Amino acid sequence: MKDTNREKPDEGDVQFVYAKVLDFVSHAGMVFIAAGYLIYVMQLLPLSVSIRAVADNWHLSASDMQQKLHVPSGWSFMGSMADALHGDVVSYMSILFLCMATILCLVFAVKVFFREKNYIYTAITFLQALVLLVAASGVISR
């Protein structure tokens, strides 16, 4: 039996907006990951590191493999468009997109809190997004 008395959530409801953004980003992220994987496996774009080289060095730690294969770390692939147009980098970017889902949701939540004139929660949510952005950037670890 369907509950017809249930009200549709208000567009200003922060949980509803957060969930809507998370739903969209999650589905888009899964499509992006599948596309990145196919681009990598089918080698539709050139690879910065061959699949064979990765397989041969699988026993190494990530930092050792990075040094041995001379691959960029962190966000350094964003330095030039030529670096970003490699199959393995596109696959990596798809994972980063999905990792940024929380930050995107918080940005939309800030907008809703501000519209509701709830300035305390606006500030808290903005600071959460800012802390996550700083942490993701790796600025502090350098």
* Average pLDDT rounded to a whole number, residues 38-65: 86
Domain boundaries, the chain: 14-137
Q: What's the alpha-carbon Rg for the chain, to the nearest Å?
A: 20
d(CA 46, CA 42): 10
Using CA atoms, how far apart are residues 42 and 38, in angstroms rounded to an integer? 6
Q: Is 113 exposed, middle or buried (0-12, 13-18, 19+ CB in 10 A)?
A: buried
10 vs 43, more confident: 43
Q: How far apart are CA 30 and CA 69, in angstroms?
A: 28
| pTM value > 0.75 | no
pLDDT tens column, 91-103: 888 888 888 899 9
